[in-house]
Amino acid sequence: MDYLINGMKLVVGLMAFMIVIRLLGKKHLAEMTPYDIIYLIMFGGILEESLYDNKISIWMFLFSLAVWALAIYVIEKLVARYNPLRILLKGEPDQLIEDGKLNLKAFKKNQLEMEQVRTMLRQQGIFSLREVRDMYIEPGGQISINSFAKYKHVTAEHLQLNIEEEEPSVLLIDEGAIKDEVLNAIGKSEQWLLQGIADEGYENVRDLLYCEWSKTEGFFIRSYAESIESKSRKPS
């Protein structure tokens, strides 16, 4: 009986957690803050105590979950509505670099080392601090960067070029297997695919590691023979 009750508590706890995440919205998941970690710790504590203490009935567990979920929902709605409360609980961005100059006070406040900042820059595709004009650290720990104009990528708008919009690609062959459901979704047949790869110089589908296609770019194919593993093998 205890196993059944514990199993029910786990299922109910999971459902309650999923409902709260749904209510908070997808955007919330991308902006984890220290308070979100507190929410999770509280949830873990409630679930753990209910599982290991048989005196806590499933109704007491449900009541605790309801209070926890309601408290989170109310707090998040208040934070979204009142800016001072949002700054108090969620924090606000700190400017680490302003016009190319390092803000040491902001570095110390966020307990950041220079190598940490360099790592975050590399993750953004920037490999030198000289490229950064302004840099902010967001409440969730992400960074936002504004590069100097001379280091920004040149766009078609800068060159006044009229470039056709690129259609998204679809995966048609994955490790030698044709994805029939994808072919059906784009209204193409297997015969069309075989003819397409033949036009690209490939004959056997099983020899293909990867094949994608888009309306604007056509086929992009890589065979097993073109993979690094294949090239690294010594000839027998």
Total number of domains constituting the chain? 3
Residue 147 sits in the same domain as residue 174: no
- Give domain status of residue 109, yes or no: yes
Decide which of 67, 88, 109 is a domain's last residue. Answer: 88
Residue 49 sits in the same domain as residue 106: no
Residue 79 sits in the same domain as residue 28: yes
- Sign of the alpha-carbon torsion through 195, 201, 203, 205: negative
What's the mean pLDDT in 44-48?
83
Residue 102 sits in the same domain as residue 83: no
Residue 123 sits in the same domain as residue 57: no
Residue 84 sits in the same domain as residue 100: no
Which helix (H) or strand (E) segment is 174 a member of?
A: strand 170-174
CA distance 102 to 134: 9
- Give domain status of residue 190, yes or no: yes
What's the mean pLDDT in 55-72?
84
CA distance 103 to 157: 33
Angle formed by the axes of helices 58-81 and 83-90, to 10°? 120
Residue 102 sits in the same domain as residue 73: no
pLDDT of 202: 93
207 close to 223: Cβ distance less than 8 angstroms? yes
- Give domain status of residue 108, yes or no: yes
CA distance 61 to 50: 6
Round to the nearest angstrom and report the end-to-end CA distance of the chain. Answer: 64
> Is 32 or 184 the better-scoring residue by pLDDT?
184
Decide which of 88, 113, 142 is a domain's last residue. Answer: 88
- Give domain status of residue 232, yes or no: no
Is a pLDDT exceeding 80 seen at residue 19? no
- Give domain status of residue 185, yes or no: yes
Residue 122 sits in the same domain as residue 78: no
What's the mean pLDDT in 30-36?
65
For the ranges 72-76, 96-100, 140-144, 152-156, the maximum mean pLDDT occurs at 96-100
Residue 141 sits in the same domain as residue 117: yes
CATH, residue 112: 3.30.240.20
Q: How confident is the model at residue 160 (pLDDT cuts 50, 70, 90)?
A: confident
pLDDT of 201: 92
- Give domain status of residue 161, yes or no: no
Residue 69 sits in the same domain as residue 11: yes
- Give domain status of residue 62, yes or no: yes
Residue 217 structural domain: 170-227
Decide which of 61, 88, 115 is a domain's last residue. Answer: 88
Sequence-ordered list of residues with C-beta below 8 angstroms from that of 173, at least 6 positions apart, any chain? 179, 193, 197, 205, 208, 210, 211, 221
Residue 12 sits in the same domain as residue 76: yes
Kindly report which listed range (129-138, 146-155, 214-223) carries the lowest average pLDDT score: 146-155
- Give domain status of residue 141, yes or no: yes
Q: Which two tokens stand for residue 193?
A: 């695919």
Q: How far is CA 154 from CA 43, 75, 157, 159, 223, in A?
A: 48, 44, 8, 8, 33
Q: How confident is the model at residue 236 (pLDDT cuts 50, 70, 90)?
A: very low
